[in-house]
Chains A and B, each alone.
Chain A
């Protein structure tokens, strides 16, 4: 085991490299979560559309994405498709993560949308609001609030899953840690350091989601 003083020494010495890597990890995470929310909402709405074809498409999507490992999906986008067109590494990783998270997010949102009391839709309709308008103004805001805790969970998973981008040679946190660790014959120290960076990021994300939850605290009927 490395000593404490050694750990902190390396932690401080490598901060520039790691902060740069952290930025990339953050970019991957934020981009993939944002796209993932859009994809998730899209497929959740398809699933509840009561239009058979759209439901089926949504089901197939969720089945394919949940049924295969994320690393396989990343490799398909980056290496697999390279014969047809090249996707830059950042976008291959981001899109794979987004598609992956999107499947889980769509399941979360489908649940919370369906969980909103059906009287809310009826109230909107009875006031002359269209289905789409009621969905947008009345149902979705409530569904998103209820989805926040499980969404926060999914964001944390997405953040940690971004480490798989290391396998297409992106210099995000995990890649930097393993590379430096093996170059310096000191894997443990670097792995502990990268763990600290991930913990800080997760703590930050948790804090933001909690704040959002409090701010939007929902009142029940």
Chain B
């Protein structure tokens, strides 16, 4: 059986003013794939991710989500975003709401899920990310790692088919990175389709099905972790790996 195409990007271009940040990007993500986007800062990987749930608008090219080409000016982007969860570098939890309220906000307000149902679902999700005791706490009482796990639970509460992660561990103290990566690993093992912008090479190597290396707005090389890390074909990839692995 052929795997379902969850995301298909064709000839995507995006500029910020004079700066051409995405150049003719082609990419396909199949169901249950974990794709790690790597590259130095400014390479366009975050912009590409943000285009996938239309927080950034493409200039040209097409983005097909679950078989349907999305036209940002006509389609209901909110409906599409319900299916595409996103986790941010800076968590972006709602500070005036408790952990539980953060998680049930969208299911209740957007999908009209009964509050009781949403609450019990939220508690399950909190248990899953190991924070069942934090339901009634406000975000400012949480560590960075805990905040990010709540953010993951919040995105999962909408029951998305795809999860996007934008440098989910970059704002964390080193000792807190592990707990977030563990949560993401579990998610990957459950078969979630994930696109992850990351600098965590260990995670990419262990969890990713595909690595996509970007530089200067272009996809330079893609491959499975084994081939990518052991036998990179492109010179720029080799250079990049040499410098990152030294760190």
- Whether A120 lies near B106 (C-beta < 8 A) is no
A220 at interface, CB cutoff 8 A: yes
When distances are taken between beta carbons in the complex, the residues of chain B under 8 Å from A130 are: 78
When distances are taken between beta carbons in the complex, the residues of chain B under 8 Å from A123 are: 86, 88, 92-94
When distances are taken between beta carbons in the complex, the residues of chain B under 8 Å from A124 are: 106
- Whether B109 lies near A129 (C-beta < 8 A) is yes
B91 at interface, CB cutoff 8 A: yes
What residue of chain B has the Cβ atom nearest to residue A122's Cβ?
A: B55
B110 at interface, CB cutoff 8 A: yes
When distances are taken between beta carbons in the complex, the residues of chain B under 8 Å from A137 are: 105, 109
- Whether A129 lies near B110 (C-beta < 8 A) is yes
A186 at interface, CB cutoff 8 A: no
Bound: A218/B97 CA distance, A: 10
- Whether A127 lies near B154 (C-beta < 8 A) is yes
Q: Can you list 23 A-B contacts with CB-CB less than 8 angstroms, sorted by A residue number?
A: A117-B90, A120-B94, A122-B88, A123-B92, A123-B93, A125-B55, A125-B78, A125-B81, A126-B84, A128-B78, A128-B79, A128-B106, A129-B78, A129-B109, A138-B105, A142-B95, A145-B96, A216-B96, A219-B140, A221-B91, A221-B95, A221-B139, A221-B140
Interface set, chain A 30-71, CB cutoff 8 A to B: none
When distances are taken between beta carbons in the complex, the residues of chain A under 8 Å from B184 are: none
Bound: A24/B121 CA distance, A: 52
A157 at interface, CB cutoff 8 A: no
Q: A133-B110, A221-B139 are in contact. Are A126 and B86 (CB under 8 A)?
A: yes
- Whether A127 lies near B105 (C-beta < 8 A) is yes
Interface set, chain A 118-158, CB cutoff 8 A to B: 119-120, 122-130, 133, 137-138, 141-142, 145
- Number of B interface residues in the complex (CB < 8 A): 29
- Whether A127 lies near B110 (C-beta < 8 A) is yes
Bound: A216/B95 CA distance, A: 11
When distances are taken between beta carbons in the complex, the residues of chain A under 8 Å from B154 are: 127
Bound: A119/B88 CA distance, A: 8
- Whether A219 lies near B139 (C-beta < 8 A) is yes
B33 at interface, CB cutoff 8 A: no
- Whether B88 lies near A128 (C-beta < 8 A) is no
Interface centre among B92, B111, B158 (most CB of A within 10 A): B92
Q: What 0/1 pattern do residues 181 to 221 of A give for CB contact below 8 A with B?
A: 00000000000000000000000000000000000101111
Bound: A137/B92 CA distance, A: 14
Known: A126-B86, A128-B158, A219-B138. 6 other contacts (CB 8 A): A120-B92, A120-B94, A126-B84, A127-B155, A219-B141, A221-B95
Q: A125-B81, A128-B110, A133-B109 are in contact. Are A138 and B53 (CB under 8 A)?
A: no
Q: A127-B110, A128-B78, A129-B78 are in contact. Are A221 and B90 (CB under 8 A)?
A: yes
Q: A119-B90, A128-B82 are in contact. Are A218 and B158 (CB under 8 A)?
A: no
